[in-house]
């Protein structure tokens, strides 16, 4: 039996909460069904351990985000990434997963010693085959702003993940399973680096 996409989106957020990839109100996931005129995204400001299908919002591309009730302020970068992929191949499904994983975010440096997330390749070269990591997005781009959304979509182009300094990561792929796998792989390796320091 295939699980409905809304259920998959709720499940991945619950999984992320249970595995400490997000705190209670953090993170979001979006899904674009190839060929459609809208995308799904998790509602903002809801407890992620308690999501159900009613918390998944259907966002038409034709509507301005600020006219949609209960939408997360982080929806802007989801929309830009989805539109970018849609321009390349509008029939391809797109999933964008945003999380705040502890070791990965810490690896990029919270105060000083800022470090590109793709420096993980230096310690774990086999990761290069698994996840294509773009350039970090600076912490000077504040959450919810257009400049943050534009930098994320620019840096993730031709990659499948970018790090957001002092914030978290964004991963893009073709299925919920793919982006969740990649997010967990990166956190696992960042943890190996973190625990030996
Ligand atoms: Zn965030």
d(CA 156, CA 174): 14
Q: What is the pTM of this model?
A: 0.97
Res 103 pLDDT > 80? yes
Q: How far is the CA of 74 from the centre of ligand 1 (A)?
A: 7
How many angstroms is it from 1 CA to the middle of ligand 1? 32
5-196 CATH: 3.40.225.10
Cα 150 to chain centroid distance, Å, stands at: 14
Residue pointed to by tokens 């299925």: 175
How far apart CA 123 and CA 195 sit, in angstroms, is: 14
Whole-number Å distance, alpha carbon 25 to ligand 1 midpoint, is 10
> Is residue 60 over pLDDT 90?
yes
Boundaries of every domain in the chain: 5-196
Beta pairing class for 28-32 and 94-99: antiparallel
For residues 144 and 135, give the distance between their C-alpha atoms in angstroms, rounded to a whole number.
Answer: 19
Q: Residue 100 Cα, ligand 1 centroid: separation in angstroms? A: 6
pLDDT tens digit string along 167-190?
999 999 999 999 999 999 999 999
- Specify the residue for token string 């000077």: 140
192 CA to centre of ligand 1 in angstroms: 23
pLDDT in tens, 127-147: 999 999 999 999 998 888 999
């Amino acid at each position: 039996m295939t699980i409905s996409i809304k259920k998959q989106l709720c499940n991945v957020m619950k999984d992320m909460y249970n595995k400490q990839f997000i705190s209670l109100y953090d993170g979001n996931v979006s899904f674009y069904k190839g060929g459609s005129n809208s995308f799904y995204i998790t509602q903002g400001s809801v407890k992620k351990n308690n999501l159900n299908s009613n918390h998944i919002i259907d966002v038409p591309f034709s509507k301005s985000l600020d006219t949609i009730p209960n939408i997360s302020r982080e929806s802007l970068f989801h929309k830009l990434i989805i539109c970018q992929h849609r321009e390349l191949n509008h029939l391809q499904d797109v999933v964008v997963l945003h999380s705040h994983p502890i070791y990965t975010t810490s690896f990029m440096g919270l105060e000083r010693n800022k470090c590109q997330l793709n420096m993980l390749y230096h310690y774990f070269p086999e990761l290069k085959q698994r996840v294509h990591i773009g350039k970090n997005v600076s912490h000077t781009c504040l959450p919810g702003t257009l400049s943050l959304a534009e930098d994320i979509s620019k840096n993730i182009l031709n990659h499948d993940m970018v790090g957001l300094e002092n914030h978290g990561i964004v991963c893009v792929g073709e299925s919920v399973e793919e982006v969740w796998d990649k997010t967990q792989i990166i956190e696992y390796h960042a943890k190996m680096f973190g625990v030996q320091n």
